[in-house]
């Protein structure tokens, strides 16, 4: 009877281990999905701080200086 109880404990541990592997896989998938969404949203939050118009004016000025040569 003691041996049966020990076998049952081993089975439970193996079952828990399998569940942990599945949960880890699901967690990685969900985490990757959330991370990809966050990375896709980053440019939306950064864009207002980039001051694109000023950058375009500088590039246009440099191009006009180079074309005079």
pLDDT (0 to 100) of residue 4 = 62
Q: How many CB atoms lie within 10 A of CB 32?
A: 10
In this predicted model, what pLDDT tens digit does every residue of 8-56 receive, in sequence order?
Answer: 666 666 666 666 666 788 889 999 999 999 999 988 888 777 777 877 8
Spatial neighbors of 52 by CB under 8 A, at least 6 apart, are: none
In this predicted model, what pLDDT tens digit does every residue of 47-65 receive, in sequence order?
Answer: 777 777 877 888 888 877 7
Give the tokens for residue 44: 């939306």
Label each residue of the chain as H, E or C: CHHHHHHHHHHHHHHHHHHHHHHHHHHHHHHHHHHHHHHHHHHHHHHHHHCHHHHHHHHHHHHHHHHHC
How do the domains of the chain map onto residue ranges? Answer: 2-68
């Amino acid at each position: 009877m003691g041996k049966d109880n020990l076998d049952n404990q081993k089975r439970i541990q193996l079952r828990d281990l399998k569940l942990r592997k599945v949960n880890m896989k699901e967690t990685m998938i969900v985490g990757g999905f959330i991370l990809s969404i966050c990375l896709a949203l980053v440019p939306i939050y950064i864009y207002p701080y980039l001051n694109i118009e000023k950058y375009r004016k500088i590039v246009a000025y440099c191009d006009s200086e180079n074309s005079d040569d």
